[in-house]
Amino acid sequence: MTYRRLLYNSNMLSARDARIARKVKRRLSEIAPVKRLVVYGSRARGKPARYSDLDLYIEFGTLVDPALRRRIREIAWEVSLASGVVVTTLVASDRLKGQPILKAIKAEGIAV
């Protein structure tokens, strides 16, 4: 997949959201190899509502087992509490192949 380059302006991802996404990526990279982390949704479009979550699509370079999934949720929750922005994660898997959400992520996603 090809994603837009990370841009910070009024029409795209804010610098704050990019910092939060990078923090999640950095924390995840400590426990498993992150191939790609992409921000998508309203924050990637630069049109979040006041309480919009920060949607992250994550591809790992290793098998994602239940223990890793639990740790991903824990890290997202910890970063959410620290930043005041709810972070949601969607982990790449074979189950997602052909799903419309991937088309949306590809169209609007911003790789961090």
Residue with tokens 């922005």: 85
In a domain? residue 35: yes
pLDDT computed for residue 2 by the predictor: 53
- Tell me the pLDDT tens digit for each residue of 62-94: 999 999 999 999 999 999 999 999 999 999 998
Largest CA distance in the chain: 38
Provide the CATH number for the domain around residue 52: 3.30.460.10
Domains: count for the chain: 1
Sequence-distant (6+) residues with CB within 8 A of 109 are 1, 3, 4, 38, 39, 40, 44, 57
Say how many C-beta atoms besides its own lie within 10 A of residue 105's C-beta.
23
Structural domain span for residue 64: 15-111
In a domain? residue 91: yes
In a domain? residue 38: yes
In a domain? residue 51: yes
Q: How confident is the model at residue 109 (pLDDT cuts 50, 70, 90)?
A: very high
Say how many C-beta atoms besides its own lie within 10 A of residue 36's C-beta.
16
- Tell me the pLDDT tens digit for each residue of 8-30: 444 589 999 999 999 999 999 99
In a domain? residue 4: no
